[in-house]
Amino acid sequence: MSHVPVLLDEVMAALALTPGDLYVDATFGGGGYARAALAAGARVVGIDRDPAALANAEPDAGLTLIEGRFSALDRLLADRGIDAVDAVAMDVGVSSMQLDQPERGFSFMADGPLDMRMSGEGMTAADFVNTASEAEIADVLFRLGEERQARRIARALVADRPFTRTGQLAAVVRSVCGPQPGGKDAATRTFQALRIHVNDELGELEAGLSAAERVLRAGGRLAVVSFHSLEDRIVKTFLRDRSGAAPAGSRHRPVGTMRTPSFTAAAKAVRPSPAEIARNPRARSATLRSGIRTAAPAWGQA
């Protein structure tokens, strides 16, 4: 468990673990949060949909590992006789380890198979690009990658398919978009969108937040680190609504409907310090949001 995730000290402060607490690391990854939690004396359940992440974990008497999606964390815990926990953390999105393995197909920095699956199961990015309609591809690139040239890229992808390699796909996207301001790679948003779509990352996040709400006991703490605006918007909205701070008449709280808050007022968003970004440039877009569970019943998934 040598990998140290971003905002480690800030996440641990938000979780406020004490010896004997039961903590769920819902996105185990390299195990950095889990290692810090074990050092604080907590018992840790690590969940990850990527079997490679669990295979690399260092054994520890206080650590239980579960392969699965964090959207089902309440069921995964119930299967092991756990119905309530003291803390849950999520570090959502792709991990550095996944990005650094060309054979996984997550990155355009080195050529590899156009895969992008976190679990190694289901539809690959190549499957989607090679079979979806031009309109479907454009919609995914625009919604999940916030790509302004989504239609032009989709048209080019359909014209040049089939695709099997990340380098092949990235080259087409670059040819469509041309040089980008600040030196950003033109393929960044397309790769982000395809990865999110293939792994249903936003749907998983919404379901995972609701699952965490169901398993956290009163006073339990939730900490979520996200890496782009779509993820952060989901987390922000969830904690805002569940703490009773949603504007009257929102889709989560229609006019005339009041629900007892399931979280206390959400803490202010935390972002990496300049020093951390200098040490780890991948941390620059991270945002931490956290909340504390009340004794009210869980609202369930919106």
Chain segment 233-261, per-residue pLDDT in tens? 999 999 999 998 876 655 555 544 578 99
pTM: 0.89
- Name which of 256, 262, 210 is nearest 235 in CA terms: 210
Instruction: Specify the DSSP element, H or E, that contains 156.
Output: helix 150-160
Q: Residue 7: which region, alpha, beta or left (left: phi > 0; alpha: psi -120 to 50)?
A: left
Residues 6+ apart with CB under 8 A from 275: none
Question: pLDDT tens, 265-275?
Answer: 888 999 999 99
Please tell us whether the domain made up of 8-97+201-292 is placed in CATH 3.40.50.150.
yes
Domain locations in the chain as residue ranges? 8-97+201-292, 103-199
> What is the rounded CA–CA span in Å between residue 233 and residue 73?
21
- Would you give the DSSP letter of residue 302? -
State the CB neighbour count (10 A cutoff) for residue 193: 24
List the strands of the sheet with 85-91, edge to edge.
63-67, 43-48, 22-25, 85-91, 216-226, 287-292
Residue ranges with strand state E in 39-105: 43-48, 63-67, 85-91
Q: What is the mean pLDDT of the chain?
A: 89
Query: β-pairing, 63-67 with 287-292?
Result: unpaired
Q: Quick one: fold of 103-199?
A: DNA polymerase; domain 1 (1.10.150)
Band (pLDDT 50/70/90 cuts) for residue 96 is low
Cα-based torsion angle of the residue sequence 140, 111, 226, 127 in order, rounded to the nearest 10 degrees: 30
